[in-house]
């Protein structure tokens, strides 16, 4: 739960930068997995969850702006 609270404290620009960074990291993890260099395959799932959390916060903000 603490991770999503950390994401919510970021401003809009920082969230977008964090999303882009997480997507790049996920791509790199997938390449490492394909070339059998990835030691911990659970990192892929963790990164996907982080991306989903970031997208959730973005969606929450979009909805709250529409309702305001």
Query: What are the tens digits of pLDDT across the range 24-56?
Result: 999 999 999 999 999 999 999 999 999 999 999
Predicted pLDDT of residue 31:
97
Q: Which domain holds residue 40?
A: 2-67
Confidence class for position 1, pLDDT limits 50, 70, 90? low
CATH number for the domain harbouring residue 17 = 1.10.287.310
Overall number of domains in the chain: 1
pTM of the model: 0.92
Tell me what the pLDDT averaged over the chain comes to.
95
Query: For 13-31, what is the mean pLDDT?
Result: 98
| DSSP-assigned states of every residue in the chain | -HHHHHHHTS-HHHHHHHHHHHHHHHHHHHHHHHTT--S-THHHHHHHHHHHHHHHHHHHHHHHHHH-
């Amino acid at each position: 739960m603490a991770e999503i609270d950390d994401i919510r404290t970021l401003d809009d620009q920082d969230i977008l930068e964090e999303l882009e960074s997480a997507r790049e990291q996920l791509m790199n993890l997938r390449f490492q997995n394909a070339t059998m260099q990835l030691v911990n395959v659970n990192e892929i799932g963790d990164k996907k969850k982080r991306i989903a959390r970031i997208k959730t916060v973005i969606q929450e903000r979009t909805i709250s702006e529409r309702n305001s």
